[in-house]
Structure 1
Amino acid sequence: MKEVLDYLKACGTFYLATNEEGQPRVRPFGAVCEFEGKLYITTNNKKAVFAQMKKNPKIEISCMNKGTWLRLEAEAIHDDRREARVAMMEDNKASLSNLYSVDDGIFEVLYLKNATAAIYSFTGDPKVIEF
C-alpha cells in the first residue's frame, strides 16, 4: 500500500471514477493519506461524488507519473470517525485547510477496501499490488 500512496502523492492529481446510473463520472482528486494501515481519500458530503460512492462504493483511480501510470480498483468505504478526518487534515493541511475544517460537517473521508493497483509502463509488465 505504501508504494501506491507514494505514487499518488508524487502525481499530485489523480482521477477518480464513479458510476451514476450506469454513466461513468470522473473528476480530479488530490488528497490522500494513510491511517491505521488503510489508504484514505476525502471529499465534501455536498458533492455528487460522495452520494455516488455511498450508493455504489466501487471506484477506480488513475494517474500518470514519469512515463508510468497507475490504475487502482477498490471499494470506497465511508469512515465518519473524527480521528480519520484529523489524520487526513494533518497529512494534507496545505491543500485542505482552506477548504475544510475537521468538524465543519461537510469534510468526509473514505478508506479503500479490497484494492488492487497496477503500475504500468510502456516497456514492461504491470506491477500488481493488492491491499
Structure 2
Amino acid sequence: MKEVLDFLTANKVFYLATTGGDQPHVRPMGFVMEHDGKLTFCTSNQKEMYKQLVANPNVELCCVDANFNTLRICGKAVFCTTEKTQCKALAIMPALGRMYAVGDGKFEIFYLANAQAVCQTMSGEKKVWAV
C-alpha cells in the first residue's frame, strides 16, 4: 500500500477510467488517501463519474512518473462516505474545501476493493505492489 500511495501522491495527477454504457471515460484525479487500509478517493455525486461508478464500479487507474514508470491499478469502487472519511479527506487536502464540506450532500468517498497494482518500467520490468 505504501509504495502505491507514495507513487500517486508524488506524481500528483493520475487518471481514472470508468465506463458509461459501453463507452470508456478517463478523467484526471489528484486526491488519494489511505483509509482503513484501503486506497481511497473522492468525487461529487453531481458528476457523471459518480453515476458511472454506481452503474459499473469496475475501474482502472493509471499514473506515470518522471522516469516513465507506469502504475496501473484495477479494482471495484465501493462508496464509504461518512463524516469521518470526509473529515479525513479535507484534512489531507484542504483545497477540497473549496468544493465540498462535511455533510453537504454531494461529497462522496470511495475505496478500491479487490485492487491489484502493477508498476512497469520502460524496459518492461513489472512489479506487483500490495494495495
Using the size of structure 2 for normalisation, the TM-score is 0.94
| Structure 1 position 116 matched with structure 2 position 116 | yes
Aligned-partner Cα distance in 1 for 2:20–2:13: 22
Match of 1:20 in 2: 20
Match of 1:88 in 2: 89
Number of residue pairs the alignment of both structures matches: 130
Asked if 2 retains the 8 angstrom alpha-carbon contact of 1:61 and 1:73, the reply is yes
1:22 is matched by which residue type in structure 2? D
Deviation at 1:130, TM superposition (A): 3.8
For each residue in 1:29-61, what CA deviation from the matched residue of structure 2 results, as whole angstroms up to 9, or x when unmatched? 101101111110000000000011011110000
Match of 1:71 in 2: 72
2:60 is matched by which residue type in structure 1? E
**Secondary structure in 1 matching 2:98:** coil
Deviation at 1:125, TM superposition (A): 1.5
Percent identity between matched residues is 38
Asked if 2 retains the 8 angstrom alpha-carbon contact of 1:32 and 1:92, the reply is no
**Cα RMSD between the aligned structures?**
1.1
For each residue in 1:34-92, what CA deviation from the matched residue of structure 2 results, as whole angstroms up to 9, or x when unmatched? 11111100000000000110111100000111221111101110112211111111111
Which of structure 1's runs of 4+ aligned residues deviate more than 3 A? none
Aligned-partner Cα distance in 1 for 2:12–2:81: 25
Using the size of structure 1 for normalisation, the TM-score is 0.94
2:88 is matched by which residue type in structure 1? A
Q: Which runs of 5+ in 2 are unaligned?
A: none
Deviation at 1:99, TM superposition (A): 1.4
Q: Which runs of 5+ in 1 are unaligned?
A: none
For each residue in 1:98-127, what CA deviation from the matched residue of structure 2 results, as whole angstroms up to 9, or x when unmatched? 111112111100011100011111124111
**Secondary structure in 2 matching 1:97:** helix
